[in-house]
A and B are shown apart, each in its own frame.
Chain A
Amino acid sequence: QLQLQESGSGLVKPSQTLSLTCAVSGGSISSGGYSWSWIRQPPGKGLEWIGYIYHSGSTYYNPSLKSRVTISVDRSKNQFSLKLSSVTAADTAVYYCARAGITIRLGATLIWFDPWGQGTLVTVSS
């Protein structure tokens, strides 16, 4: 059973770069048919999709964050990472990683999201 676990600094100073890693266990990050996402949730607010990376290395980002976000894959460590630069207090949130699967069943394309990591709180403060 695939599991995801976020890790990284829980406290980041304003203007610095937030760095998080999502470790994948129980399966290979290099398997085809999947993308690997980062999602965040500010305290008391809704979910925001940050971006994702395919096993091929192709990346797609939320336009509102695109200038500050980098998602990368480390296949040797079976993990993927998030970097968010020039952070402000507005970037304080619980950050989740998740896998999306794309399958074709009876001629129809299906997209599903599972599993999710448990989430990690990142606070931006001096």
Chain B
Amino acid sequence: QTVVTQEPSLTVSPGGTVTLTCASSTGAVTSGYYPNWFQQKPGQAPRALIYSTSNKHSWTPARFSGSLLGGKAALTLSGVQPEDEAEYYCLLYYGGAQLYVFGTGTKVTVL
């Protein structure tokens, strides 16, 4: 069974920078996994932030960016705002089986 692992929790100060990562149990994550990133706040549906590694939606704040880092997908928040406190999930596509797997999620605390 494929597992996609994220840091359970990260803490960042307002105005700071934090990087979340997304690792696959099958090996290095590449652009071919089309990494997507979502933000979820309590009681709300997930909101799409980044698609296919580094592409931003029209509503994605400029301080969010996606990349590949050391064999993992990464989401970087620069100039963190209090409203960025949320759970973040990555999603990878496994083309061979044509299925998706969500990451375990990262709780970001702004403190």
Shortest CB distance A39–B (Å): 8
Question: Complex formed: what's the CA distance from A37 to B100 in Å?
Answer: 10
Contact with B along A39-62 (1 / 0, CB 8 A): 100000011110010000000111
Evaluate contact between B99 and A112: CB separation under 8 angstroms: no
Evaluate contact between A62 and B57: CB separation under 8 angstroms: no
Q: Return the chain B residue nearest A61 by Cβ.
A: B99
Once A and B bind, how many residue pairs between them come within 8 Å at the CB atom?
65
* Size category, B interface: 20 to 34
Contacting B98 at CB < 8 Å: which of A60, A110, A114, A118? A60
* Size category, A interface: 20 to 34
Given known A48-B102, A49-B100, contact A119–B55 (CB-CB < 8 A)? no
Closest A-B pairs by Cβ, 4 of them:
A112-B51, A111-B34, A110-B52, A47-B102
- Residues in B lying within 8 Å of A, measured CB to CB: 1, 31, 34, 36, 38, 40, 45-48, 51-52, 55, 57, 89, 91, 93, 97-105
Q: List 11 A-B contacts (CB under 8 A).
A: A46-B105, A47-B105, A52-B100, A60-B99, A63-B1, A110-B34, A110-B52, A112-B52, A112-B55, A113-B91, A116-B45
